[in-house]
């Protein structure tokens, strides 16, 4: 009868290495090699950043034609669930990302800014499409770029950007989060909110883009 010897699978080899290690039978060099292969060390900050970058809760929010491309992200073709970003939330208080997908009119800007202010830190924003970033193809006095009234972390160019382009922007944002960008937008951009710049007495006459606390106009 012929006896055929098969090589042990990787899994079995690792199992035996683990047993030897527990018994204290591994030589120092083997133990070192085993530790390099089997043990991963990290810090709490890195683990939190890794989890945060892979579990965004975007706000259910669309502005114009770009929104249709954004909505298709959750479909099976692009399937944003691969990156853990598919849980769109219906309230800003549960969302940590707003994707501005479409044209922003001057009338809409304070509403968007209020929604952004209602999101809890750390929060992030993507400007999707030419309109939102630069007013796009429109030579129109009623539109405003998003950077004029709120901090934007990633701009996705195009008219409209394809869902793949938005995914590229999303992955850039993930790199930013996992690269330990400061959590608060004020530290991130060395900026202050408009409401912190304008003295209380000037709000009657000055052009403001953020409503004062308690003012429900435009809500
Ligand atoms: S960038 Fe193009 S697709 Fe997007 S909102 Fe503007 S006109 Fe529409």
Average pLDDT, the chain: 83
The reported pLDDT for the residue numbered 218 is 47
The reported pLDDT for the residue numbered 219 is 43
Q: Is 16 in the pocket of ligand 1 (CB under 6 A)?
A: no
Q: How confident is the model at residue 24 (pLDDT cuts 50, 70, 90)?
A: confident
Cα–ligand 1 centroid distance for 70 (angstroms): 12
The reported pLDDT for the residue numbered 23 is 78
CA dihedral 163, 166, 171, 173 (to 10 degrees): -160
One domain for residues 94 and 186: yes
One domain for residues 122 and 189: yes
Cα–ligand 1 centroid distance for 205 (angstroms): 33
One domain for residues 123 and 155: yes
Nearest CA to ligand 1 atom 6: 131
**Which comes out higher in pLDDT, residue 12 or 212?**
12
One domain for residues 137 and 189: yes
Ligand 1 pocket mutation pick from 102, 105, 155, 165 by most atoms within 8 angstroms of CB: 102
pLDDT higher than 80, residue 215: no
| Phi-psi region at 57: left, alpha or beta (left = phi > 0; alpha = psi -120 to 50) | beta
Cα–ligand 1 centroid distance for 129 (angstroms): 6
Of 96, 176, 164, 166, nearest to 129 (Cα)?
Answer: 166
One domain for residues 113 and 18: no
CATH number at residue 136: 3.40.50.12280
Cα–ligand 1 centroid distance for 193 (angstroms): 28
Nearest CA to ligand 1 atom 7: 159
Of 151, 139, 66, 64, nearest to 108 (Cα)?
Answer: 64
Q: Is the dihedral of CA 192, 197, 200, 202 positive or negative?
A: negative
One domain for residues 181 and 76: yes
Check if the beta carbon of residue 18 is closer than 8 Å to that of residue 37: no
One domain for residues 25 and 71: no
One domain for residues 31 and 67: no
DSSP 8-state class, residue 18: H
Cα–ligand 1 centroid distance for 120 (angstroms): 28
Cα–ligand 1 centroid distance for 102 (angstroms): 5
Residue 71 lies in a domain: yes
pLDDT > 90: percent of the chain: 39
pTM to 2 decimals? 0.74
63-104 pLDDT, tens per residue? Answer: 999 999 999 998 888 899 999 888 999 999 999 999 999 999
180-196 pLDDT, tens per residue? Answer: 778 888 888 877 776 66
Residue 148 lies in a domain: yes
One domain for residues 24 and 68: no
**Partner residues linked to 187 by β-bridges:** none
Q: How confident is the model at residue 56 (pLDDT cuts 50, 70, 90)?
A: very high
The reported pLDDT for the residue numbered 4 is 67
Q: Is 130 in the pocket of ligand 1 (CB under 6 A)?
A: yes
157: part of which helix (H) or strand (E)? none
* Domain hosting residue 60, numbered range: 54-198
92-144 pLDDT, tens per residue? Answer: 999 999 999 999 999 999 899 999 989 988 899 999 999 999 888 887 889 99
How many domains does the chain fold into?
Answer: 2
DSSP 8-state class, residue 128: E
Nearest CA to ligand 1 atom 8: 65
One domain for residues 81 and 136: yes
Residue 116 lies in a domain: yes
Residue 125 lies in a domain: yes
Residue 169 lies in a domain: yes
Residue 20 CB coordination number (10 Å): 15
Tokens found for residue 73:
């992200």
Ligand 1 pocket mutation pick from 99, 129, 161 by most atoms within 8 angstroms of CB: 129
């Amino acid at each position: 009868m012929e006896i055929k010897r098969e090589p042990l699978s990787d899994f079995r080899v690792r199992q035996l290495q683990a047993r030897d290690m527990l018994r204290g039978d591994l030589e120092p060099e083997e133990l070192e090699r085993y530790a390099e292969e089997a043990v991963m060390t990290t810090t709490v900050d890195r683990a939190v950043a890794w989890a945060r970058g892979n579990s965004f809760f975007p706000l259910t929010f669309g502005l114009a034609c770009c929104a249709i491309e954004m909505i298709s992200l959750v479909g099976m073709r692009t399937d944003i669930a691969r990156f853990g970003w598919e849980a769109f939330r219906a309230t800003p208080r549960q969302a940590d990302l707003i994707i501005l997908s479409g044209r922003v009119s001057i009338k809409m800007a304070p509403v968007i800014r209020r929604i952004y202010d209602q999101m809890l830190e750390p929060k992030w924003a993507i400007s999707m499409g030419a309109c939102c970033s630069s007013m796009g193809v429109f030579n129109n006095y009623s539109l405003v770029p998003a950077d004029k009234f709120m901090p934007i972390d990633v701009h996705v160019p195009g008219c409209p950007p394809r869902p793949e382009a938005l995914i590229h922007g999303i992955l850039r944002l993930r790199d930013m989060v996992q690269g330990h960008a400061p959590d608060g937008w004020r530290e991130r951009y060395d900026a202050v909110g408009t409401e912190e710049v304008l003295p209380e007495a000037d709000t009657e006459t000055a052009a403001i883009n953020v409503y004062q606390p308690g003012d429900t106009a435009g809500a």
